[in-house]
Structure 1
Amino acid sequence: QKLAEDIKSRELAEEARAIRRELLSVLKALTPSRDETEERARRMDDARQLVEAIDVEMSRRCSGSVFGEFIDCMTAPADDLEAEVRKVHDVVAPMSIKASDKVKKVLVHVLKWWAARASERLRDSELAVPQAQAEAFVRELCTSRLLLPVLGTAIFPYFSRTQVDVPLV
């Protein structure tokens, strides 16, 4: 029984430390940064904490499946993604704007939807990772300024056709 109590107190102490770290990271995120180097340092610290949390969870479970679960939470099911692209395309298609603007509107909407969906799935999952860092990672990934040009160039040719192949997009 003494052993069980020690293990329980150690688990509670670890959980308290994890909650404290997450609270501190949320407070840091709410505090405006002074310059770009501080903002970059914060992002790197968030990423480091997320990697450490995933590593701890992998060690706890003695399995690499934690990383797969994390990636699974971040990816949208193909059917849901196709339905969302179809929905936003149906709204954007009749607009009298350039095809490139239609592409941008579709991409921005779908990426915002994807980020919200990934954050929701991470919150609902059993993964013991800090939500603030996980959501920051999803936000950084889906709203990266480097992502839009690559995706836009890839799907732009399909928007110049009279019929858009939504599953292909």
Structure 2
Amino acid sequence: MASKETSKVIINNDLEKKIADAFEVFDHSGKQTVDVREIGTILRSLGCCPSEAEIQEVLLATEDKEATGSIHLANFLPYMIQKISEHRFYPADAETLLAAFKTLDEESKGYITKEKITKLIMEEGEQFTQEEYDEMMQIAVDPTTDTIPYEYYINQLMVEDDYLQDNSNKTTVTEK
């Protein structure tokens, strides 16, 4: 009987190819396996936005039981096909993001201060890493006012978010 390490996964469609291609970037051995520490990066490269708890869920479902610490494409591919088909791990849509920012903007100014958002994302809930924080601030903060004009920021995010979504489904946010 051939082991998973020697048997190759057969790719049947574009979605499977996209997932396999992202996976194989981190397959340094060429045996269709990756280290479990790479899974978050692989998911994000697919346009997914998983929480740390969701990454752990993927690891529990796909980690190789015989070779702990690694994940084989044969386990990962069907799991991710199912999750992507269910629209799991997708980023929030523009309307949801706008509602969240409006909740934070108690005075309806149309922006959030850098200090307020920094406190929220670095100290409360599922905290950002320094790298995630720096990346967000680079795009989100208006250098002139040192604030986050959230409608503009959301629109910037939506422009970058065409990897898994059809352009016809995009929404531009405008305050009414």
**TM-score scaled by structure 2?**
0.28
The structure that is strand-richer by fraction is: 2
The structure with the greater share of residues assigned to helix is 1
Larger RCO: Structure 1 or Structure 2 (Cα < 8 Å, ≥ 6 residues apart)?
Answer: 1
- Rg (Cα) greater in structure: 1
